[in-house]
């Protein structure tokens, strides 16, 4: 399945709602084991809410190996790729380790007591 | 939805109309707000800036708006002002909301914890700039706005100041400072300086052929 993001969302991939549109479209294909190609040709502006909703949350449904195998991203600007990788890193940390946030908060509380 | 946006040459004699205008910008008008932001507000003076740098900065400014839309609960919306300084190649922006403020949101998020009171204002601000934190109760949150903005400011050799409640934060490439102050501001104010320099807007690049979902684990 090939998805031309410009035709569906436009030049600016910034809102969570637009990310959800993409997620809803690609989830059934990925769940069926079909390869999905996201083409960002013509998209100039990116923001994390869009990527969080469109791609980051996929890490709750699939492993990294499955996504590397099934999901491809094309024609994305360097800045867009940077933001996407940060979103994936953040999402992976959240979904991979249920205790991550609990531990982070514990550390911050301890720091607060020291201060 | 049609917005009659006052231009810089209009005389704003009726501020009630302006407040009404901004109150009309609801959550589902995000694209309208962003198009105005990019083409009219930030759009002036971009003659010597590449489209890529313009888009990168527009995206970062949107992260601040998106964060405010999600968390601020500002009854009169979000206000912005800014100026481009071509001689120093800087864009200075201020984004203000009159919501509950960052420390309130953080303490509310931890209200079930008996140690929430230990979160003084400076620690609240420090917490929201930690990577991966969010006060959104449903998971990873809508965006990584503040974390992303922090990283971009550092790479951009820019500067970020935040005022919320009695708390002040300063972030640049050399430091992250969070302190309590005697003054108090109920909402949140972001003072940002972006460098309009083509050299300073891209993050450190991993190998372009590296898998997107690759995550190297350091032991």
Each residue's pLDDT tens digit, A75-107: 999 889 988 988 888 888 777 766 655 655 555
Q: Is A84 on the interface with B (CB under 8 A)?
A: yes
Q: Which of B164, B134, B158, B159 is nearest to B146 (CA)?
A: B134
Q: Which of B140, B145, B151 sits opposite A94 (nearest CB)?
A: B140
Q: Phi first, then psi: what are they for B165, rounded to 5°?
A: 55, -130
Q: pTM for this structure?
A: 0.77
Selecting from A15, A104, A113 the residue whose C-beta is nearest the C-beta of B30 gives: A15
Q: Which chain A residues are within 8 Å of B122, Cβ to Cβ?
A: 115
Quick one: which of B109, B118, B116, B107 has its CA closest to B165?
Answer: B107
CA angle A22, A24, A26 (to 5 degrees): 65
Q: Report chain B's mean pLDDT, rounded to a whole number.
A: 72
Q: Is A102 on the interface with B (CB under 8 A)?
A: no
The alpha helices in A9-47, defined as continuous H runs, are 16-31
Question: What pLDDT digit, counting tens, does each position of B17-53 carry?
Answer: 444 445 455 445 677 677 767 776 666 655 567 788 8
pLDDT tens digits, A7-58: 999 999 998 889 999 999 999 999 999 999 999 999 999 998 899 899 998 9
Asked whether the beta carbons of B196 and B91 are under 8 A apart, the reply is yes
Token pair of A56 as six digits: 């980051």
Angle between helices A100-114 and B121-128 (to 10 degrees): 150
Q: In b/e form, how buried is each residue of A8-37, taking b as 16+ CB within 10 angstroms?
A: ebbebbbbbbbbbbbbeebeeebeeeeebe
Q: Does A62 score more than 70 pLDDT?
A: yes
Q: Which residues on adjacent β-strands are paired with residue B206? A: none
pLDDT at residue B216 greater than cutoff 70: no
């Amino acid at each position: 399945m090939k998805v031309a993001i410009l035709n569906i969302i436009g030049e600016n991939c910034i809102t969570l709602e637009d990310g959800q549109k993409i997620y809803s479209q690609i989830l059934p294909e990925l769940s069926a084991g079909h390869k999905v190609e996201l083409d960002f040709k013509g998209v100039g502006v990116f923001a994390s809410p869009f990527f969080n909703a469109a791609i980051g949350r996929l890490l709750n449904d699939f492993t990294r190996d499955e996504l590397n195998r099934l999901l491809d991203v094309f024609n994305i600007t360097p800045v867009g790729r940077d933001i996407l990788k940060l979103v994936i890193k953040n999402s992976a940390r959240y979904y991979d380790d249920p205790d991550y946030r609990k531990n982070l908060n514990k550390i911050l509380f301890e720091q607060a007591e020291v201060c | 939805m049609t917005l009659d946006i006052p231009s810089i040459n209009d005389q704003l004699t009726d501020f009630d109309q302006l407040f009404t205008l901004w109150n009309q910008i609801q959550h589902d008008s995000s694209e309208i707000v962003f198009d105005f932001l990019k083409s009219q507000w930030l759009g002036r003076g971009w003659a010597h800036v590449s489209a890529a740098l313009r888009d990168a900065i527009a995206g970062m400014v949107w992260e601040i708006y998106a964060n405010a839309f999600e968390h601020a609960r500002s009854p009169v919306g979000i206000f912005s002002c800014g100026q481009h300084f071509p001689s120093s190649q800087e864009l200075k922006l201020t984004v203000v909301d009159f919501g509950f403020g960052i420390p309130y949101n953080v303490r509310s998020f931890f209200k079930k914890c008996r140690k929430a009171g230990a979160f003084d204002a400076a620690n609240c601000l420090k917490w929201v700039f930690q990577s991966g934190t969010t006060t959104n109760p449903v998971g990873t949150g809508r965006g990584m706005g503040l974390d992303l903005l922090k990283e971009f400011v550092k790479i951009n050799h820019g500067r970020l100041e935040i005022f919320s409640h009695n708390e002040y934060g300063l972030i640049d490439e050399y430091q992250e400072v969070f302190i309590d102050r005697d003054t108090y501001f109920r909402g949140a104010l972001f003072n940002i300086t972006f460098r309009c320099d083509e050299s300073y807007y891209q993050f450190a690049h991993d190998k372009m052929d590296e898998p997107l979902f690759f995550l190297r684990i350091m032991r």
